[in-house]
Structure 1
Amino acid sequence: MSNQFEGRVAFVTGGSRGIGKGVAKRFAEDGAKVAIIDVNEEALNETQAEFKEQGYDIYVKKANVVHSDEVESAMEEVVSQFGSLDILVNNAGVIRDNMLFKMTDSDWEQVMDVHLKGSFNAARAAQKYMVKQKYGRIINTSSTSALGNRGQVNYSTAKAGLQGFTKTLAIELGKFGITANAVAPGFIETDMTKATAERIGISFEDLVQASVSQIPVGRSGKPEDIANAVAFFADEKSSFVNGQVIYVAGGPKD
């Protein structure tokens, strides 16, 4: 534990499991007050109990990033409870994988809504507080899929879109002491990658093994690996790092 984020408030969307939870935990361990919104009530309650047991200051609320009013009211509550909103991590995501010819309108729309509209809603709501306090860190979760991935035309498009979104926020908000950057994870062991294994009809162990064989560092990623990169972007000292996308994938991606 360190006090790297002492006095800071971090707001993580989709923070009850997987990468989001790993990121929230890292902030809490390093002294931040943490707010999590998610649509999974059961996982939210579990995470809240776990964090409280460890003595961390946490706010949780069931809210859907696709609905701007739900995001805005959660942020209002967080600012009134914790006093500020310094770091936003847009992490909420879904997958609706399929080959293009089998993909439905709803598969496409749902992925666009959660990743793109959700990140837009949260960033627009958060910047009001950040501009006022002349400080903020926005970190968006992209993916190596942004470079193209079979069976993920919707997800790849959304994750590439988030990179353009990040760079534009960086340009618009930089003069207010706010930076915007993105982390693009490679293969990370989470419930989402377990769902991918199920979809393609192989065991999770086989998927991990197949993925690791393609990763130069010879191991799969864990949520903590992403949390480390997020913490770098969120650090007060990283104020000259803006509009960047860092691939956290155990090897080079471009």
Structure 2
Amino acid sequence: MNIRSCFAHDLFQGKTVFITGGGSGINLGIARNFAAVGADLGILGRSQDKLNAAAAELRALGARVSTHAADVRDYPALEKAMRDAREELGPIHTLICGAAGNFPLPAEQISPNGFKSVVDIDLLGSFHTCRAAFEQLQETRGNIIFISAGMAFMPYAFQAHVGAAKAGIDNMMRNLALEWGRFGIRCNSIAPGPIEGTEGVRRLVPEGSADALKQAIPLGRFGTPDDIGQLSVFLASPLASYITGTLVVADGGQNLPGSGAWTQLIMTEMAKAGKSSA
């Protein structure tokens, strides 16, 4: 479904949306949907080549775009990116905290540095992003959307590091919603299920297992970047003006029966690859 069939094409005209991890995957899908409703876009990531390709795609949709090569773990670089985006596009109205790291590995094989890296990118990086954008969001009475995951509330095999980071993000989201509501800032999380064509699916769904996993999802399919992009536009829009402190699960019902199907698939495939000590 084209988002313009549901939302006015100028819904976000004159408003700046800043997206970390915006050069690819789910976050680029979010950017495309905001571009379709008139938003100006600041996208941040570690690869300038990816950012350039994403910017070209978004500009073809009519958006004004600024790109910022930086790591969310580097707070001074993030602050500079926020200042530069404001100068180019205007103050931030919607902030998408989408930068993330992941790799499937049994907990006994995750190095302390590997665990820390995921927590630093996901959780610390999300705090850095919110803190650096706070003054602009206070000015616009804007909103923040965090990209969470089912691992935040459901144990998944070989995802101990990700689950810890995402659970921390959702708790922080609620705290910020509580504290920053007085500034007119709304905070919510989206927990996507498997999204086709993304790096996450390529890394986490064992080759040849996609059809079996889809059968375990009540809606019978993987999501698309547009599924998450359209939901993001809704949550950032005036239609959701009284929604804050909420985790919205957009997973086709994947987590309703638990993570057993995922566990069976991933543990079998990882054992074949010799990565499990079980």
TM-score (norm: length of structure 1): 0.93
Q: Which residue of 2 aligns with 1:183?
A: 190
Q: C-alpha deviations, 1:66-87, integer Å up to 9, x for none? A: 1111111011011111121100
| Contact in 1 for aligned 2:35/2:61 (Cα 8 Å) | no
Q: Which amino acid aligns with 2:145?
A: I
| Preserved contact between residue 96 and residue 107 of structure 1 (Cα < 8 Å) | no
Letter in 2 for 1:137: N
For 1:241 and 1:35, how far apart are their aligned partners in 2? Answer: 24
Uncovered stretches (5+) of structure 1, i.e. residues with no partner: none
Q: Deviations over 1:8-59 (max 9, x none)?
A: 1000000111000000111111100000000122211111122223332111
Q: What does the per-residue CA deviation read over 1:87-123, in whole Å, with 9 as the maximum and x for residues that have no partner?
A: 0000001113211111111210110000001100000
Task: Tell me whether 1:196 sits opposite 2:204 in the alignment.
Answer: yes
CA–CA distance in 1 between the matches of 2:46 and 2:247?
A: 27
1:136 aligns with 2:142: yes
TM-superposition CA deviations, 1:109-160 (whole Å, max 9, x none): 1100000011000001111112234x11100010011121100000011111
Q: How does 1:5-154 map to 2 (within 5 A)?
A: 5-133=12-140, 135-146=141-152, 147-154=154-161
Q: Shift of the alpha carbon at 1:252?
A: 6.7
Per the TM alignment, residue 228 of structure 1 is displaced from its structure 2 partner at its CA by 1.6
| Aligned mates of 1:80, 1:13 — CA distance in 2 | 18
Partner of 1:209: 211
SS in 2 for 1:181: strand
Residue identity opposite 1:223 in structure 2? P
Once superposed, which parts of structure 1, at least 4 consecutive aligned residues long, lie more than 4 Å away?
none
Aligned equivalent of 2:220, options 218, 221, 230:
218
Q: Across the two proteins, how many residue pairs are aligned to each other? A: 247
Matching residue's letter, 1:173: W
Correspondence for 2:242? 240
SS of equivalent residue, structure 2 residue 41: strand
Q: Secondary structure at the match of 2:12?
A: coil
The alpha carbon displacement at 1:237 in A equals 3.1
Q: Pairwise CA RMSD of aligned residues? A: 1.3
Return the alpha-carbon distance in structure 1 between the equivalents of residues 16 and 227 of structure 2.
21
Q: Say if 2:103 and 2:203, in contact at 8 Å, map to a contact too.
A: no
Please, which runs of 5 or more residues in structure 2 have no aligned partner? 257-278
Kindly indicate whether the alpha-carbon contact (under 8 Å) linking 2:193 and 2:254 is maintained by their aligned counterparts in 1. Answer: no
What SS is found at the alignment partner of 1:241? coil
What is the letter of the counterpart of residue 194 of structure 1?
R
1:3 is displaced (CA, Å) by 1.6
Residue 253 of structure 1, CA deviation: 4.1
Residues 95 and 144 of structure 2 are in contact (CA less than 8 Å); yes or no, is this contact kept in structure 1? yes
TM-score, length-scaled by structure 2: 0.86
Q: Distance in 1 between matches of 2:58 and 2:235?
A: 23
Q: What's the CA shift for 1:195?
A: 1.8
Aligned equivalents of 2:45, 2:122: Cα separation in 1:
13
Go from structure 1 to structure 2 and tell me whether the alpha carbon gap of 1:210 and 1:8 turns closer, same or farther (over 3 Å shift).
same
Q: CA deviation at 1:229?
A: 1.6
Corresponding position of 2:230: 228
Determine helix, strand or coil for the equivalent of 1:86: strand
Contact 1:14–1:37 (8 Å) recurs in 2: yes
**Which of the pair has more CA radius of gyration?**
2
